Structure 1
Amino acid sequence: MTLNIQLANRSTHNQLEKKRRAHLRTCMESLRSSVPALNGNKATTLSLLEGARDYIEALKSTASKTVQTQEKLRKQRELLRKRISDLELQVNALGGQGYVPQKWASKDNEEENIEVDVVSSEDDCLSSFSGGSDGCAADNRI
């Protein structure tokens, strides 16, 4: 190869490497701003990645607890609906024509979607990741 071609190839390679590093730097800054414990702080790449890993694990744990709570609430709702149905049968068996408000009437096979916000106690919070003094908030969605 001639010297000009070698210089052109090296220059192209250097430009591509600069672009790659700039993209990597942008991604790391984005990650830093996404991890509450590191938000705005200078951190080494290692501490940034470790903090991100810890934050992801904490979010997974919170998500798992939320799913468990939703399942528990769903079961509780079903038990309460069954109890209402049983009480309605008892009222009818006693010959009572008692008034049962429409909102209490059982809903046969009708599924109701309810959004549940789970608020943890201060001990369960990801306080080490909050980055502020506000602690837990129901607004922190996964």
Structure 2
Amino acid sequence: MPIDPASLPEMQPEHAAEQLATRMGIEILKADLDEVVARMPVEGNRQPYGLLHGGANAVLAETVGSTLSALHSMPERFPVGLELACTHHRSATSGFVTGTARPLHVGRSTSTSEIVLVDDDGRRVCTAKLTCLHRDTRPHVS
């Protein structure tokens, strides 16, 4: 059962309709300090040749990784993505891709997560690493 994003730390409801993750059909399935798991449909997130777009993999990876960072750092500090690296291993053409983020490092000023994306058959589609900076203040959004 998907988790309501509004239940996650400091989600701003006034921006809910603008969330890229929502537009891409990403559903968070599990969120705790050990791991964040979410899934995304391939349909609607393909490149022109029918394969899952590599940028969609990056969005799913950053979504689960930054959610994990938020769970570790908020409300005292605010995480923002600093670096995302993705290695695409195979293509997905149908069904869902599931991403699991686990912490590699959690500190006061940064956190790094390893994110593994798999297809419906459990085959690794992408491996990503996300490092987030934990800011003292929230960036201004107008």
**What TM-score do you get using the length of structure 1 for normalisation?**
0.26
Please identify which structure carries the higher helix content.
1
**What TM-score do you get using the length of structure 2 for normalisation?**
0.26
Please identify which structure carries the higher strand content.
2
User: Greater CA radius of gyration, 1 or 2?
Assistant: 1
